[in-house]
Amino acid sequence: MIRRRILITGASAGLGAGMARVFAAKGRDLALCARRLDRLEQLKAELTADYPDLNIAVAPLDVNDHDQVPRVFAELAVQLGGIDRVLVNAGVGEGAALGSGGMQANKRVLRTNLVAALVQIETALEMFSGAGSGHLVLISSVASAKGIPGSWAAYSASKAGLRSLGESLRAEHADGPINVSVIHAGYIESEMTAHIKRPMFMRDNQTGAGALVDAIEREPGRAVAPWWPWAPMIQLLRMVPASRMKPAS
């Protein structure tokens, strides 16, 4: 099944913008939302110039404004004539070691990556239930595979929580007509990964976004993208004793 009308949150930069470009190249209509409307407008102008036949709608959205989420999703659905797939992608990567005085940053990570994701999930499922079908995609991370000490502790916990929500939903909707996919993104060039000091196996945004879209299009229950080296590495991470994990700075 080809999902022609795709909504992406956090679409103004990074993985969201990268995936929007790949989907546009495939001829998909797009509903793009994020906090930074100016960047969304720039992306819309770029994609409209390259693909003038596409319907591309943009709207400002702060996913932490929970009342805003259903309103913006509904407005974008009207502009596209419906939504077939929702990518819960908006997120932040800041954080601090637990107990180091960075509680506010860690709260922002959990609030944005998990609580706000729950609001998007609830909204998308209601939309799909009314339409009779849909594909819900949760963009998690390879960091969800194991708790990471140091500054990534809250981030890895937030993405593990998102993974758990996806697993619950896959079981609940195993017989359709709503499909649920959890995609574990590896290290891909973006604003969120710019602070990584030793970006081992980092993929450029275009390559990484292409791998994510290829995985999403298959509509798996769970996938790792890019597959190499991250799928094998997740298995290795799960076997590493917690005492051997090095704190992330």
Neighbours of 234 (CB within 10 A): 17
Before 177, cis peptide (omega within 30)? yes
Identify whether 155 is a catalytic site residue: yes
Rg over alpha carbons for the chain, rounded to the nearest Å, is 17
Measured distance CA(219)–CA(95) in Å, rounded: 31
Cβ-count burial 3-23 (b if 16+ within 10 Å, e if not): bbbbbbbbbbbbbbbbbbbbb
> Which of the residues 155, 188, 223, 226 is marked catalytic?
155
CB within 8 A of 166, min separation 6: which ones? 138, 140, 180, 181, 182, 222
Name the residues annotated as catalytic. 155
